[in-house]
Amino acid sequence: MIRAYYGAVDSSALPLHRQCARKPHQRPDIQHEYAMRRLILLALISSTFAFSTGCVYRANIAQGNLIEQDDLDQVEVGMTRNQVRFLLGTPMIGDPFHQARWDYVYYVTIGRNPATFKRWVTIVFENDIVTEIQRDQELDPDL
């Protein structure tokens, strides 16, 4: 019998969800709660591991000045800085210690792989005239 505001009420007359309602002083099954926490923790750890490994996209990266072989073939000893700048563009980084030398470096990395295409060309000036052209120098293999 459940005591209601208007007197005694038979519990079988109550809806089913009211009959099975947990009393406030009762605790849920502790083993069930422990198992659920372990399951949630396992799901969280496995999803974190799955998303932190190889699932991240790495974009292709091109660094430096892209120098076409046709443009490089047109550069000759005796040209001025402006003529070289017109053909190849300005170098990405000016070297304050070697102002008479322009280095054109270009490489491409695709995804997580090391650089697939590398090129390093150095043009040496003397009195703003090209005196030397160093083509296809070796870049660091770990690049």
What's the pLDDT tens digit per position in 42-77? Answer: 888 888 777 766 666 778 888 888 888 898 889 999
**Same domain (yes/no): 68, 94:** yes
**Distances, alpha carbon 2 to alpha carbons 9, 13, 108, in Å:** 5, 10, 79
Query: Of 139, 101, 135, 134, whose CA–CA distance to 118 is shortest?
Result: 139
* 6 in any annotated domain: yes
Output the pLDDT for position 124. 92
What's the pLDDT tens digit per position in 75-117? 999 999 999 999 999 888 777 888 889 988 888 888 777 777 7
User: 138 pLDDT exceeds 60?
Assistant: yes
Q: The domain containing residue 87 runs over which residues?
A: 61-134
Residues 74, 129 share a domain: yes
Say whether pTM exceeds 0.75. no
Residue whose tokens read 């659920």: 36
In this structure, what CATH number is given to the domain that contains residue 105? 3.30.1450
The amino acid present at 141, given as its one-letter code, is P
Domain co-membership, 125 together with 90: yes
Q: In what order do the strands lie in the sheet with 129-134?
A: 61-64, 101-109, 115-126, 129-134
